[in-house]
């Protein structure tokens, strides 16, 4: 939900900027059309930053699958440290988790899988770490390029599984990081989300229509403001 709210806040800011730039143009020319097009191109594609889908539909089991999402930044780091799913367990009293996948080939898209991705969770830490997933000692993510490929399945204890079901349904993916202590020196490369959550991110067509409405409203508001004497604006 926080991811969705932040995305719409960003969209509103972009719409206001587009509206202000539009009102500076004196005629509705090709330049105007180009301006509006460039504004819309700054809108993130739906699910562009969603990199990992989490499936908790099978009791005491977690499956994580790569999406077609692209990394937000260029980053490289140790495969042994891996990526951190922030807020996955939330506040908890779960014991340490250190387990290899039952099966799977989840890995960073720039590297090949070692076919044994592992999960780590330090007792009491709010997040979940995926590490040792590649044949390379150093793994990397490329801005604008596919971030992950493959999928993997792990067993969870009853306590860990219940916490996963009842905690956050989405959050940021940090890299390189394996506990919350690493976040100050890590980077957000995208996000994770549990499959089947209610707050779905709108499709691109819906976003475009929404943005067009925001831009139009912004233009109307700016025009009214300019045509109203300063003393009557408040």
At 3 the pLDDT is: 42
Q: CA 212 to CA 184: how far, in whole Å? A: 37
**Tokens found for residue 26:** 């004196």
Short-list 111, 96, 125, 97, CA closest to 66:
111
Residue 223 main-chain phi, psi, to 5 deg? -65, -45
Q: Which residues contact residue 143 at a Cβ distance below 8 angstroms, ignoring those fewer than 6 apart?
A: 70, 71, 72, 73, 74
At 218 the pLDDT is: 57
The pLDDT averaged over each successive group of 10 residues in the chain (234 residues) is: 46 52 46 46 53 97 97 97 97 93 97 97 96 97 98 96 94 97 96 73 48 58 57 50
Cβ(165)–Cβ(174) below 8 Å: no
Short-list 200, 199, 194, 196, CA closest to 90:
194
At 196 the pLDDT is: 73
Cβ(98)–Cβ(85) below 8 Å: no
First to last CA, the chain: 34
Cβ(147)–Cβ(66) below 8 Å: yes
The b-or-e profile of 108-130 (16+ CB within 10 A means b, else e) is bbbbebebebbbbbbeebbbbbb
| Residue 157: alpha-carbon gap to chain centroid | 27
């Amino acid at each position: 939900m926080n991811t969705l709210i932040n995305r719409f806040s960003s969209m509103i800011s972009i719409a206001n900027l587009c509206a202000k730039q539009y009102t500076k143009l004196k005629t509705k020319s090709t330049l105007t059309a180009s301006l509006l097009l460039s504004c819309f191109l700054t809108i993130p594609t739906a699910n562009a930053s969603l990199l990992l889908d989490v499936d908790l539909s099978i009791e005491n089991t977690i499956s994580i699958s790569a999406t077609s999402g692209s990394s937000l930044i260029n980053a490289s780091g140790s495969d042994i440290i891996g990526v951190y799913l922030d807020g996955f367990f939330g506040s908890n009293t779960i014991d340490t988790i250190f387990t290899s996948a039952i099966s799977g080939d989840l890995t960073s898209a720039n590297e090949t899988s070692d076919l044994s991705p592992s999960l780590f969770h330090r007792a009491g830490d709010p997040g979940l770490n995926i590490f040792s997933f590649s044949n390379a000692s150093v793994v990397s993510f490329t801005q604008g390029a596919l971030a992950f490929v493959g999928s993997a399945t792990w067993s969870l204890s009853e306590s860990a599984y219940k916490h996963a079901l009842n905690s956050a349904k989405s959050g940021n993916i940090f890299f390189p990081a394996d506990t919350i202590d690493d976040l100050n020196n890590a980077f957000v490369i995208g996000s994770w989300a549990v499959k089947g959550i209610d707050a779905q991110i709108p499709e691109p067509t819906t976003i475009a229509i929404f943005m067009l409405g925001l831009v139009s409203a912004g233009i109307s508001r700016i025009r009214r403001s300019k045509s109203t004497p300063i003393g009557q604006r408040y």
